Each structure stands twice: as structure tokens, then as C-alpha cells.
Copies of this chain bind each other. A is one copy, B any other.
Amino acid sequence: AVVDKGVDFAQYFCTYGFLYHQKEMLCDRVRMDAYFNAIFVNKQHFTGKFWEKLLRGHSALLVYCEVLAHSDYPGKWPFNVLVVKVVLDVGTGSGILAIWSAQAGARKVYAVEATKMAEHARALVKANNLQDVVEVIEGSIEDITLPEKVDVIISEWMGYFLLRESMFDSVICARDRWLKPTGVMYPSHARIWVAPIRSGVGEHKMGDYQSTMDDWCDFVDETKTYYGVDMSVLSKPFAEEQKKYYLQTSLWNNLHPNQVIGSTAILKEIDCLTATVNDILEVRADICSSITLENTRFCGYGGWFDVHFRGRKEDPAQQEIELTTAPSVDNGTHWGQQVFLLHPPIRVSEGDNLSVSFSMNRSNENHRLMEVDFSCEIQPVSGKLIPRFSNKFYIE
């Protein structure tokens, strides 16, 4: 599917042009701490080795180093003298990650942002006196050109259930065009998780759906009585529309850990250094989960993700940092979890085994939204097998 830039802007980018929305992300402490620690605990990825900094201010030496740095001998110079790091922030938004990268010691940071937020980022960079290091570029990462390749690509590209928004495509594009062969990705790895859950929301939604349909029936009756038009032919499409957009749409939810009723499983692992767009276009996995609670209700699937900052094999992080959006009492994130509800729930008990086939594809109408299929067979500890049943969901 070819993407119309104007439409993409209208549907996707527009919200990121608001400070209000950027602030929501900036107020997510778990997110902020993870990136902050990833950068400052692993300063060497942004600074180079400590004593190289002594070179700064000695412009003759620095120029010499830069010449070598741009030559074909990266890393061959003893003590990595030449690694005076250049960073690219893909989708800089308010500029926060670019600013931290500069504060951590980067020689140069390219901060690329598609929306008008770039202007605010530029102001913020200036107000923090980093205008000599951070260069804010307004434009799509796909369209812009940089004067040099970079040592680090940092980006906060994760959407709900990791892949919603499909922004990782842009990070891949940036990586393939601008990352040095020795470069490092921040974050370096990502995973998608799923687990069976219990939740009272399903009944609630089912109740709403029922009353919407009751209401529709009244409407059909009244339209016939008062206005002489028989609307009943639309009852089925109306019910289908409601099911699709109300019952089959995944929910944002802040799950309590005790709502997870079975073992968790990984649906997808991504190595940010090597993954291709093709690798993430479709996610397929067959997983098992065994129920860990006595006599409970299997109400649906909970999905979330985590990412890690590990540096790169030849140049690992000093301390690996994790950002997880798993159900948590104290460390919830603005991503929450995605919940895919079954109607009605199914009684299960400790030791019952779910074998689940999962697939996720991009929606045809909007490549930034997803369609998800779950199919599940339940082998209970006692009693008879519940044959495979399938459910389709939309991540809107």
C-alpha cells in the first residue's frame, strides 16, 4: 500500500505537533528514567573514552582526529581516540533525547522531527545552551540528508503493543542510511509479550453493546412508525460495525499484575541493529501458556512490550537498561497494556494449557494500525479439551 504523505500527516503526525502530547510522554517517569539511565550510565557511547574529552578545545588535534574519523580507519586508532561520537535522534519531538545525548558528551547530535514540534525543540536546545552540538532538522527522516554518518541512533519509536504506529520503519530507514558499520542502536532490542488475563471490562463492554443494540431496535421501530421508512435491513451492518469498533477493538488498559492468570510468552524479538521492515510487517507466533490460578476466568489476552539498551556485541553497554511496559503496580507507563477481550470469558483452572496461534498484520486502510488474530485451544488438567476458537481484533 502506497502511503499518501498528506493523509499520514493528517492521521498520524498531527498529534505530535502539540506540546500537550509531548508532555504526556515527558511525564512518563518509567520511560524517562530508562532513556536517561541508558544514556548517562553508558556515557561512553555518546562521549568516547574519558581522556578523549581532553582533546576538546585543542582544535588542531580535534581537526586531525576528525579527518581520521572520516577516513576509512574507524576504530583502528589505538584507544579509540577518534571516536568522538555523533548521534542521530529519530523523531526528536521536544528534543529531550537529543539534549541528553549532548549533555552526555556527544560531539554532534542530529535531531530530526517531522512536525512543527521541531521549532520548539530548537528553542529548547538553545535555552539549554546546546545549540553548538544539537542541530534540529525539521523533516521526515526518510527525506532529509545528513552531512555525515553517525555512531548512535537513538529513538523513542514504540507505539502501543510495540508496533502500532509503524514508526520503527523510519528507524530502520535511518539506520540503513546513516548508521556507521560500528554504530549502536538505542534501544538495541525489543520484545512483544502476551499472557492470558482476567478482567471485568468485558462484561461492561458487552452490556454497553447490548444496550446500543436495544437502542437501535427502538430506532428501527420509531423510524418505521413516524417516518415510514423500514431501516431493519441496516441492523446487521450496524451490529457488525459495533462489534468491530467496540467489541473487537483492543483496549488500552493498566492491568494489575494479579490480572495475569497464566505464564507469559514472547511473541516477537527484534534486534534493532539487523531487523528489516519485512521482519516486522507481519508477526506470527505459536505459543503456550499454562494457567497459574485455581478456578478463574480466562477473559482475554493482555499484550505489552519491553525494550533493552545493550549497546552492540563488540561495544556493549556498561550496564544493560530495560524499559518494560508489563503490568505493574507502581511502574505503569503511558503505553499501558493492550487488552484483547473474549466474549464471554471461559472458566479455566491451574495447570490448564492454552496453545495459542497469534498473527498481526498492518491494516490495509492505514499502515500504522494493526489487525490481530488469536486462535486458542485449551487442554484442561481435567475435563475435556476445548477445541480451537479464533478471534479477530483491531488495534485502532
Contacts and interface: CB of A to CB of B under 8 A. Distances in A.
Contacts of A386: none
A382 B103 CA distance: 63
Interface string A9-25: 11100000011100100
A241 B17 CA distance: 10
Contacts of A233: 123-124, 126-127
A241 B19 contact: yes
Nearest to A21: B241
Interface string A38-60: 00000000000000000000000
A36 interface: yes
A77 interface: no
Interface stretch (A143-151, A223-231, A284-292): A223-231
Nearest to A40: B228
Given A19-B241, A26-B223, A100-B227, A234 B123 contact: yes
A127 B120 CA distance: 56
A36 B227 contact: yes
A23 B123 CA distance: 47
A232 interface: yes
Contact of A216 (B23, B120, B126): B23
Contacts of A99: 229
Interface of A: 4, 6-7, 9-11, 18-20, 23, 26-27, 32, 36, 94, 96, 99-100, 103, 120, 123-124, 126-128, 216, 219, 223, 226-234, 237-238, 241-242, 245
A127 B230 contact: yes
A304 B228 CA distance: 30
Given A7-B6, A120-B237, A242 B126 contact: no
Given A19-B238, A127-B233, A128-B230, 13 more contacts: A4-B4, A4-B7, A6-B7, A7-B7, A19-B234, A19-B237, A19-B241, A23-B216, A26-B223, A32-B226, A36-B226, A124-B229, A124-B234
Contacts of A242: 20
Contacts of A228: 100, 103
Q: By CB atoms of chain B within 10 A, which of A23, A229, A245 has the most?
A: A229
Contacts of A27: 219
Identify which of A120, A126, A219 gathers the most chain B CB atoms within 10 Å of its CB.
A120
A14 B230 CA distance: 25
A120 B36 CA distance: 53
B231 A124 contact: yes
Contact of A7 (B10, B94, B245): B10
A16 B229 CA distance: 20
Nearest to A240: B19
A155 B126 CA distance: 54
A11 B11 CA distance: 8
B229 A96 contact: yes
